[in-house]
Structure 1
Amino acid sequence: MQERSLQRISLSTYFLLSGICFSSWASRIPTIKDNFNFSEEQLGNMLMILPASAVIGIPLSGWLVSKYDSRIPQQFAYVFFAISLLLIGFATSLPLLIFALFLFAVSLRILNISINTQSISLQEKFEKRIVGAFHGLWSIGGVVGVLFTTLMLQLNISIQVHFLIVAVFTLLTIFVAYPYLIKNDKAKGGNKFKLEKPNKYIMLLGFMVFLAAICEGGMYDWNGVYFKDVVKEEVFTYGYLLFMVCMSIYRLTIDSLIDYFGMKKLYFLSSFLIMTGVSIAILIPEFWPALIGFCLVGIGVSGLFPMTFILAGKAKKYSTGIVISIIGTYSTVGMFLGPPLIGYLAAYFGLQKAFIVFIIGGFLFIPLTLSVFNHLKKHLE
């Protein structure tokens, strides 16, 4: 088998595992909410720990991917990611939960920068687009994770045993896959970030992932709670499951769709689907309408991150790792504002009205898309 094929399989494994671990955590949020008797506002405070902690990983992740081959920080981050998931499951006190979430967030920040840097580097070895497929595998991992969570809930398996299985599986798999990751991908130039006037193109991409993080991250964290508390569905993972299935299907085809329709049209489609899907879930909070609504949102948000990371590869001011780290900072801020904001709004206005934030986020992609592609047009002419 060709070296690049082995590298692609290995990196695909990491994307898949990241999706499994993250969805295992996200789909168990209602369990953690009940275990600690959190109100919506208290849950919002807890969720703020993740993005607030990830801020620490902003300079660290950028420095690591610029100083070392991306596979090195990636491997260490995955080890701590699995350990943190295990700690979340076994947390019996608030301080331990806070520490576990802190470790989870910092590890997630570093591994996200690392695997996306690897994906852009590996793309250079292929003529056909492959970046979207990696994100599709992340979503498939999300589906696997939520399916496994659903099984654990139906079998009445504790969160401790559930997260132990996921953590052990992750640790064993990454040590098998590590030797085949792409090596020597540290950029020779553009590794030093300078404090100066922000680059307009990078800033626009940053705002895009900022909105994507609010919409996608907020849906991860509040989807299950919405189905449990608003739709009144006992098996609260159904909405999350269909949301992830739709994301997976769309992301696996995003590379071909980009070639056929172009990114600009797909950004507009994402905006429309997010606004439409959330509106349906808000206006008709019944099982099937809400399920359809979340499916539309899943399709809408799925292309935002892979398309924006592809556009990040066109930036020439810094190395790929640094650019991804910079726009990833905007993503962290989006995660900082999104889920906690939903929690605070839900405490005062109800969860249905709080979801209007996603509609606003979806709408703002229209002017941002126009700005990004106008900028590209001017600099390519």
Structure 2
Amino acid sequence: MSDQAALLPFPKHYLRTAVSIAFFLPGLIFASWASRIATIQQTLNLSDAALGAILFCIPVGLIVSLPAAGWLISRIGSRRLALVGIISYGVALIGLGAAISVPMLMGCMVAFGFASNSVNIAVNTQAVATEKIYQKPIMASFHGLWSLAGFTGAGIGTFMIGKNINPFYHFTGMVVIVIIALIITYRYLLDDKGPAEARQGFAMPDRALIKLGIIAFCSLICEGAMFDWSVIYFKKVLNAHNGWMGAGYTAFMCTMAMGRFIADWFAHRFGLKQTLQLSGLLTAIGLLIAVIFPRIPTAMLGFLLVGFGVSSVVPMVYSVAGKSKTMSAGMALAAVSTIGFIGFLVGPPVIGFVAGIFSLRVSFVLIAVMGLFVTAISTKVKL
């Protein structure tokens, strides 16, 4: 048992369970939103280009949160930031479901982006601390819970679409469940609020962290595309009926969750560099299959490969970043996750613009190139 584990006021598996739930809950929130984007687009009568422009409000919220999230995690710790962030995330989700106009939707998206980045930094800081206590790689398993939540949220969203349930009622029900679970598990998260003299303000990341951030950026562009556009791709390119609109998204989420539960073992067996190189190739190949063969079975096969491709990149990058020797784990993760999350949030609106000028199939080719960049950059970076 590590010294840190001995200092815990409860068994360490309580901490791991609580952190796992802390990953699952925001995954459920985001998947609920992603599964109903097409519904909201139709309700507000938005074109692909207009939706792409409006989606830029989410990265605006993220950018606004950059100095705030880093400052907050150094002042109140990741446990308190996770509590405030997840509740705020849920409230913003309800606002998205209640939006009856474009300005209202845009305002809620800014709040959604602000909360999402804060939550991302907080829960990953908790995961790094838990990994140190266990003294073995477990980061990817936490991200697997986020993906499993996405799979669950996608399934619930598909059911809600089939039953024509209004997004507001759908989102409100999910947030009630999230808040109850959060209240129950909060006490078992690690209280990492440090003394005032140990707190850090904003600092520029070093070159190694920037490179890790770029790898995450490229992979998260692909991941964000799947979350925001896979349902629309099935609807508009493949002409899928309501019952099949979420099939590609569900396939992607399934393999992403599976991949994250085996990523720690795979990286230990074959090496981190080789894992990241393979991840980029699978992402590119999967997207190209979906573009070249625009049929439901082949597109589902392609999305399955994309899920495996993106599954290991972010947890592996975050795990390395959390061991930085130049910054605290929280600040290093804030730097790397911020760079990566910009790709996650900027990618989808860019796809909307490209789709408006050309087509969704062309925009998905652009995302495939991002997968190749993951492979190329991973080859040149020392890991």
TM-score exceeds 0.5: yes
Letter in 1 for 2:319: I
Deviates more, 1:206-215 or 1:110-119: 206-215
Partner of 2:3: none
Instruction: Indicate which of 99, 112, 128 corresponds to 1:91.
Output: 99
Ranges of 4+ aligned residues in structure 1 off by more than 4 Å: 187-190
- Relative to structure 1, the CA distance from residue 28 to residue 306 in structure 2 (aligned partners, 3 Å threshold; closer, same or farther) is same
- Relative to structure 1, the CA distance from residue 262 to residue 189 in structure 2 (aligned partners, 3 Å threshold; closer, same or farther) is farther
User: Structure 2: which 5+ runs fail to align?
Assistant: 1-8
Residues 118, 185 of structure 1: 8 Å contact kept: no
User: Structure 1: which 5+ runs fail to align?
Assistant: 377-381
Question: Distance in 2 between the 1:2 and 1:128 partners?
Answer: 20
Residues 44, 344 of structure 1: 8 Å contact kept: yes
Partner of 2:4: none
Residues 190, 317 of structure 1: 8 Å contact kept: no
Partner of 1:76: 84
Question: Distance in 2 between the 1:54 and 1:88 partners?
Answer: 16
SS in structure 1 of the partner of residue 241 of structure 2:
coil
TM-score, normalised with respect to structure 1 = 0.94
Question: Distance in 2 between the 1:357 and 1:151 partners?
Answer: 31
Question: Distance in 2 between the 1:201 and 1:351 partners?
Answer: 35
Letter in 2 for 1:14: A
Indicate yes or no: 2:361 matched with 1:344.
no
Residues 206, 330 of structure 1: 8 Å contact kept: yes
Partner of 1:221: 228
Note the alpha carbon deviations across 1:171-226, whole angstroms, 9 max, x for none.
Answer: 1111111111111354875724445xx52101101111111221111111111110
Indicate yes or no: 2:308 matched with 1:299.
yes
Indicate yes or no: 2:359 matched with 1:334.
no
Question: Distance in 2 between the 1:98 and 1:300 partners?
Answer: 31
- Relative to structure 1, the CA distance from residue 372 to residue 94 in structure 2 (aligned partners, 3 Å threshold; closer, same or farther) is same
Note the alpha carbon deviations across 1:277-328, whole angstroms, 9 max, x for none.
Answer: 0110000110000000000001101111101001102321110111111112
Question: Distance in 2 between the 1:230 and 1:258 partners?
Answer: 36
Instruction: Indicate which of 32, 51, 60 corresponds to 1:43.
Output: 51
Deviation at residue 53 of structure 1 after TM alignment: 1.4
Query: Map of 1:62-211 to 2, 5 A cutoff?
Result: 62-184=70-192, 186=194, 189=198, 191-194=200-203, 199-211=206-218
Partner of 2:35: 27
Letter in 2 for 1:199: D
Deviation at residue 47 of structure 1 after TM alignment: 0.9
Question: Distance in 1 between the 2:194 and 2:82 partners?
Answer: 13
Question: Distance in 2 between the 1:267 and 1:247 partners?
Answer: 14
Note the alpha carbon deviations across 1:95-135, whole angstroms, 9 max, x for none.
Answer: 22112111111111101000000100111110232111000
TM-score, normalised with respect to structure 2 = 0.94
Indicate yes or no: 2:321 matched with 1:312.
yes
Question: Distance in 2 between the 1:251 and 1:185 partners?
Answer: 29
Letter in 2 for 1:125: I
Indicate yes or no: 2:381 matched with 1:372.
yes
Note the alpha carbon deviations across 1:240-285, whole angstroms, 9 max, x for none.
Answer: 0010000011111111111111111111111110111011000011
RMSD of equivalent CA atoms? 1.6
Partner of 1:268: 277
SS in structure 2 of the partner of residue 156 of structure 1:
coil
Question: Distance in 2 between the 1:30 and 1:40 partners?
Answer: 10
Question: Distance in 1 between the 2:379 and 2:65 partners?
Answer: 31
SS in structure 2 of the partner of residue 314 of structure 1:
coil
SS in structure 2 of the partner of residue 70 of structure 1:
helix
Deviates more, 1:236-245 or 1:94-103: 94-103
Deviates more, 1:102-111 or 1:177-186: 177-186
